[in-house]
Structure 1
């Protein structure tokens, strides 16, 4: 219970002090999906080629040959927050494909204590209610070959729905676009997220807001801004496949995650910052997978103002049998500092196996 009270206190300032131009709007969309990709520190922009390409790079959807589905469930903060993902993709013809997905990141059963103390100063625990804070993203992706089959393009239209109990709700809309190019076991990828910027428009319930005003006299007296804009981000990837003997295959990829702002990333300026990620996947005859990755290279300022470089290692395993692939990753939530690591599981089903 005490964790949920704390979480409510942390969430409230989010919508009470929202700004029109937020550098970190819709951050739940940066967490990532699919345990296989998370085990490689998200370094998959150049090589993603199944249903999960809807998220990582929609151009990779051209690689699917039949119906595919994917599910992922993750629990964060000792089970307080849940992160769920479901996707479906199918080829339209030999040169194009279509996919849809939904993402939900939510915290349920949060204690609403805004009416805990009545106008006479009496505490009544029966006045405590529960609410949920949940973020949703609905995606529709389309991909096709360009000119020749080695060059692929994909676009992703997304609708974002955010709900904070009865206090506030928002709708958002944006686009992503991606390219992939393959030649002689070399792979190149480009992903531009929020290419047109993603707009979120908030609707705030004034009656509920008045309760917050009364709960903390003298604080939160002004309505927050009702518009957020998510800035574009770019991901560049290059990868190489290596054949090792008869049964083993090694896939390696390096991605550069570029944001147009100054941050604590290892490469940062007033114009842009770059956070690299490196991932490796070793498989045995496409049956068993071992994955390693490292990313989130950040400079941390210590108490004595000195700076140290921190990194985030990731680990993953996978098993593919008769069209069903089960993946596991040990990673932390959204690459946030020293947050506790979580166990992530996902399942991907390829219907082409069942047609054989």
Structure 2
């Protein structure tokens, strides 16, 4: 089995090499297209985003496309809504997945993260200095991602599934600027009894997002020299690897448990993570789910380990806890997650997901 896995891992490594080379030659932003790293699905976020090895529903199109092979029923649809920063940022996600046959599956996903009804007060005063409230205009800042995912069971290794997705990114800042981007993710899952292993390579060829600014809206307000205005730019998202392992348990007839962990490796330089260097950073996370009769679920997870400095200059390590619950019946599943729980126990993000599976 190890000999058969070597070519697959080598292939993923070859795909990553162009991006790793560009990491040294191109000055890329460290948090490019960060809206895609918020995560989707209340079940996943309640477990701290630990999904690469265990995901088995339509959200696999986002977390690990290889997990699409293993849908409980032929069709699966998921919708999620969450609000961040006291409801200022709206995060919506929808996905549909279907089994093409016993060995392959297809999924389509859409993500929108945005802030709506932002007031543009640049023309609040007229040429005489009088206030004109009817001159206030409103606009939205939103990021979109459209994903088409495909997965297939491997004929080389028993229990191995492979998947990939193509993602199209559209970002809009009202009438001031917009951008289009394109990227590819790939993943693999290996299932051995109660053990599950996952590998995901996101942005394997690097993702390029081309920005186009509107000079007519920006030059008169922010710039005096029109010739120095650069209306076009390219934002680069460098590759990242996610390795995961999970194990399921069955006990006391109707009780079950699932424990999993992920290691996320970014290639855009030093980040505030548990392990970091000038080239790569490693961010670990762990999650757990306890179920009763496959109908009621209790979840928890830890992620986002960071070193935080207080007002006195003293540094300490902090970890983000996540909690979640879920109920399922007749193919319908409702999940709730509480994420980004602060030290004062105030919840800054509530995630709700509704999923339906049918034949």
* TM-score, scaled to structure 1: 0.87
For residues 156 and 121 of structure 1, what CA distance do their matches in structure 2 show? 54
CA distance in 1, matches of 2:143, 2:120: 18
Q: What's 2:11 paired with? A: none
2:197 to 188, 195, 220: 188
Residue of structure 2 equivalent to 1:62: 69
- Asked if the contact 2:121–2:136 (Cα under 8 Å) also holds between the matched residues in 1, the reply is yes
Report how many aligned residue pairs link the two structures: 329
1:152 to 154, 161, 172: 161
- The 2-side partners of 1:339 and 1:270 are apart by 34
Counting only pairs closer than 5 Å after superposition, residues 124-139 of structure 1 correspond to structure 2 as 124-139=132-147
Equivalent residue in structure 2 for 1:226, among 226, 233, 243 = 233
Which of 38, 42, 51 pairs up with 1:31? 38
SS at match of 2:159: strand
Could you tell me which of 147, 150, 173 is aligned with 1:142? 150
Question: What is the TM-score normalised by the length of structure 2?
Answer: 0.86
* C-alpha displacement of 1:196: 0.8
Offset of 1:340 from its aligned partner?
A: 5.0
Q: What residue number does 2:5 align with?
A: none
Range with bigger deviation, 74-83 or 159-168: 74-83
**What displacement does 1:93 show?**
1.1
Aligned to 2:314: 306
Q: Using the alignment, how far apart are the partners of 2:173 and 2:261 within structure 1?
A: 37
**1:174 and 2:174 are equivalent in the alignment:** no
Counterpart Cα distance in 2 of 1:121 and 1:234: 56
Contact 1:50–1:61 (CA under 8 A) maintained in structure 2: yes
Q: 1:198 aligns with which of 204, 207, 210?
A: 207
Shift of 1:114: 2.3
Aligned partners of 1:267 and 1:275 also within 8 Å: yes
Is contact 2:321–2:340 with CA below 8 Å preserved after alignment? no
Once the two structures are superposed, residues 269-303 of structure 1 have per-residue CA deviations (whole angstroms, 9 ceiling, x without a partner) of: 11211111110000001110000101100011334
Contact kept in structure 2, 1:114 and 1:211, CA below 8 Å: no
Gap runs ≥5 in structure 2: 1-25
Q: State whether residues 151 and 164 of structure 2, in contact with CA within 8 Å, keep that contact through their aligned partners in structure 1.
A: yes
2:333 match? 325
Indicate the residue corresponding to 1:8 in structure 2. none
**SS of residue paired to 2:172:** strand
Cα offset, 1:204, TM superposition: 1.0
Give SS of 2:299's match: strand
Deviation at 1:304, TM superposition (A): 4.2
CA contact (8 A) 2:196 2:247 kept: yes
CA distance in 1, matches of 2:33, 2:128: 40
